[in-house]
Amino acid sequence: MDTVLKQHPVMASQPDVDENLTGAQAVVRVLKEQGVEVVYGIPGGAVLPLYDALHGVTDFTHVLVRHEQAAALAADGYARITGKPGVCIATSGPGATNLVTGLANAYMDSIPVVAITGNVPRSVMGTDAFQETDCFGVTLPVTKHNYVVMDPMDLPYILREAFALAVAGRPGPVLVDIPRDVLQSIVPAEAWQRRPRVEVKLQEPDLDLIAEAARQIAQAARPVLYAGGGVITANAHEALVALAEAANLPTTTTLMALGAMPGDHPLFMGMPGMHGTYTANQALTQTDCLIAVGARFDDRVTGRVADFAPNATVIHIDADASEHGKVKETLIPIVADARLGLEALVKAMAEVTVVPHDEWLDQIKAWQAEHPYRYDKDSEQILPQMVIEELEKATKGDAVVVTGVGQHQMWAAMFYKYKRPRQLLTSGGLGTMGYCMPAGIGAQMANPDSQVICIDGDASFQMNVQELIVVAEQNLPLKMFILNNKAHGMVRQWQTLFYGGRISASVFDGQPDFVKLSEAYGVRGMRVTKPEELPGAIQEALAHPGPIVVDIIVKQSENVLPIVPPGAALKEMITGS
| pLDDT, tens only, 142-179 | 999 999 999 999 999 999 999 999 999 899 999 999 99
Pairing of strands 289-293, 223-227: parallel
Is 115's pLDDT higher than 70?
Answer: yes
Q: Residue 18: what pLDDT? A: 64
| pLDDT, tens only, 486-538 | 999 999 999 999 999 999 999 998 899 999 999 999 999 999 999 999 999 99
CATH class of 21-193: alpha beta
CATH 3.40.50.1220 residue spans of the chain: 207-370
Reduced to 3 states, what is the DSSP secondary structure of residue 30?
A: helix
Nearest CA-CA partner of 250 in 239, 236, 235, 240: 240
Task: Return the bridge partners of 50, or none.
Answer: none
Q: Residue 400: what pLDDT? A: 98
Rounded Cα–Cα distance for residues 403 and 391 (Å):
13
- Contact by Cβ (8 Å): 123, 185: no
Phi, psi (5° rounding) for residue 419? Answer: -95, -25
Query: What CATH number is given for 207-370 in this structure?
Result: 3.40.50.1220
Q: 409 or 4, which is more confident?
A: 409
Q: Residue 202: what pLDDT? A: 83
- pLDDT tier for residue 13 given thresholds of 50, 70 and 90: very low
Residues in contact with 74: Cβ distance below 8 Å, sequence separation at least 6, in sequence order: 40, 63, 65, 86, 88, 438, 439, 441, 442, 445, 467
Give the distance from CA 409 to its chain's centroid: 12
Q: What is the dihedral of CA 397, 403, 408, 409, to 10 degrees?
A: 90
Average pLDDT, the chain: 94
384-553 maps to CATH 3.40.190.80: no
CATH 3.40.50.970 residue spans of the chain: 21-193, 384-553
Q: What is the DSSP letter of 57?
A: -
- Contact by Cβ (8 Å): 437, 455: no
Q: Residue 17: what pLDDT? A: 65
- Tell me the whole-structure pTM to 2 decimals: 0.94
Q: Residue 577: what pLDDT? A: 59
| pLDDT, tens only, 326-347 | 999 999 999 999 999 999 999 9
